[in-house]
Amino acid sequence: MFKSKTIRSGGNAKTIKGDKFGQYETAIMYLAPASQSLMGNVCPMAGQAGCEMGCLSKAGRAGMFSSIVEARIAKTQRYFKSRETFMADLVKDIAAFVRYCAKKGVKPAVRLNGTSDIQWEVAHPCTRQGVTYTSIFAAFPEVQFYDYTKVYKRAYRALPSNYSLTLSYSAANEAYANAVIDTANETGANVAIVYRTKALRNQFVEDGAHYLGRVGFGLRAMKREVIDGDETDMRFTDKLGVIVGLYAKGPAKRDTSGFVVG
C-alpha cells in the first residue's frame, strides 16, 4: 500500500483485483465530489448526469467514516486555494509512487479522478525536476493515467498517449444522454454504464450487446458489446468500442435519476 498527501494505492477493491495480475499497481486520488468542498465544483456535469446521489464517494469506507469525508474536503480546498502548490504536491507524490512501484517490480498506474471530474489535460501545468510541463501526463510519461469522465467534450481532444478516458453514461437527462452516445459513436470512445443489478449487467455481457436506443427518451442508437467492468478497474486495457458494464453499489442501488440503468 502506498499513501501520500494526494494519492494512495491498495484501498480500492477493483484496483486490488487488477493489481493481482502482477503488472500494475494503481494509485487513486479522492477529492470531495461536485461542490461538497464549498469552494468550487470538481464535477461540472454532475447536475446534468444526475450522479450526485449515487456517487461512489458515499460507498465503502467513505460512506461510514466522516473523517475520510473531512480529509477529502480539506484536500479539495487546498486544490482551489492554490492550484500551483497542489500540483507541486501531486508531482512529489507521483514521483514517490513511481519509485515505490520500481522497488516492487510493477508498473505505476494513476487515476486522478477517483471522485472528481477535473480536466487535467488543460490549465494544469506542473514542474518536475526544474522542468515545466503542460500537464501531469507530460511530466510522467512512465506512468499510465486513466479516468472515467462525464465531460464528453474531452473525448474529442488529442489526449496524451499515457492517458485513457472512458465516457460515463447517464439517462437522467435526454440532452446529456444523446451527447454521450453521439460522442461515443463519433470518437469510438468506450462508455461505462451502471446497471441496476449485477444480474442485469451479466445478462447484457452474455447477450453480447446492449442497444441503448431502448432505454428511453427517444435516444440515438448505439449498439455495442458489453464487457464486465468490475473484473478490474484497469480501463486502459479494455479494447475500444465497448460498453463497460458496472453494477450499482452503495447509494447507487437506490438511484432513480436515470444514472443507474434498469
The set of cell numbers assigned to 8 is 494512495
**Contact indicator for 25, 101 with CB cutoff of 8 Å:** yes
**Statement: residue 125 has pLDDT above 80:** yes
Tell me how long the chain is.
Answer: 262
pTM over 0.85: yes
Predicted confidence (pLDDT) per residue in 237-255, tens digit = 999 999 999 999 888 888 8
Tell me how far apart the alpha carbons of residues 25 and 49 are, in angstroms, rounded to a whole number.
30
Predicted confidence (pLDDT) per residue in 69-124, tens digit = 999 999 999 999 999 999 999 999 999 999 999 999 999 999 999 999 999 999 99
Tell me how far apart the alpha carbons of residues 190 and 169 are, in angstroms, rounded to a whole number.
10
Tell me how far apart the alpha carbons of residues 207 and 184 are, in angstroms, rounded to a whole number.
21
Going from N- to C-terminal start, the domains of the chain cover 8-261
Q: What is the mean pLDDT of the chain?
A: 90
DSSP H/E element including 100? helix 83-104
**Contact indicator for 179, 154 with CB cutoff of 8 Å:** no
